[in-house]
Structure 1
Amino acid sequence: MSDKIKLLFAFLLVVAGIAGYYYLHDSAAVLRLLSVLAGVLLAVGVASTSESGRQFIAFGRDSIAEAKRVVWPTRKETLQTTGVVILFAITMALFLWLVDASLMTMVNKLMGRAE
């Protein structure tokens, strides 16, 4: 139950930050932005003390660790793959244009229309 209260309080902090943004409508834009930012940061602080917040932080850390293990392609591999994709797209476009033109010609002949 305390986790739900913490999450509700975190939500209310975000709402308070947004309300502060509109309350300070005559103030400088920086103050309005700081109001929202403060609300969000305080909400993150409160939410991180809940069990679901700790799980989310652990998930974020695991995601970063997994992203570090990714083997990215070299520049050469990237250019080769991009070239194959572009070549395939051009070939497919020409093929579809040829099929479309052929079907249009056959339909026009069947309908007795002159080209």
Structure 2
Amino acid sequence: MADKIKLGLAVLLLIAGIAGYYALAEQAMVIRVVAVLVGLMLAIATTWYTEPGKQFFAFSQDSWGEARKVVWPTRKETLQTTGVVFLLVIVMAIFLWFVDAGLLWAVKLLMGRGD
């Protein structure tokens, strides 16, 4: 129950930050953005002390660690793969154009409007 109250408070803090942005319409843009950032930071800090918040932050850390283990392709591999994709798209476009033209010809022939 306490976690739900804390999460509700975090949502209210975020809403308050956004409301502060509009309430300070006469102020400089920097002050308005700071109001949103303060609301966001307070909401994150409040969420940090809830059980779902702790689970989320642990999951985020695990995800970040897994992303570091990924072997990312080199520039050459990326360009080659992109080239193959573009080539396949062009080949499929030509194939579908031929199929469409053939079906158009067949329908015209069946309707008696063919040459």
For normalisation by structure 1, the TM-score amounts to 0.91
Greater mean alpha carbon deviation, residues 101-110 or residues 43-52:
101-110
* Aligned AA (1:18): I
Report the CA distance between 1:109 and its aligned residue.
Answer: 2.2
- Measured after TM superposition, the shift of residue 112 of structure 1 is 2.4
User: Cα offset for 1:111?
Assistant: 2.1
Shift of residue 2, structure 1, vs aligned partner: 1.8
Shift of 1:19: 1.8
1:78 CA displacement: 1.6
State whether structure 2 residue 74 is matched by structure 1 residue 69: no
CA offsets, 1:71-110, max 9 Å, x none? 1112222222112211111111111111111111122222
The corresponding residue for 2:17 is 17
Taking only the aligned residue pairs, the percentage that are identical comes to: 58
The equivalent of 1:93 in structure 2 is 93
Gaps in structure 1 of 5+ consecutive residues: none
Q: How does 1:19-38 map to 2 (within 5 A)?
A: 19-38=19-38
Q: Following the alignment from structure 1 to structure 2, what is the Cα–Cα distance between the partners of residues 114 and 15?
A: 66
- Please list every run of 5 or more consecutive structure 2 residues that lacks an aligned counterpart in the other structure: none
Runs of 4+ in 1 over 4 A off after TM superposition: none
Distance 2:106 2:12 in 1: 67
State the AA in 2 paired with 1:96.
L
Q: What letter matches 2:37 in structure 1?
A: L
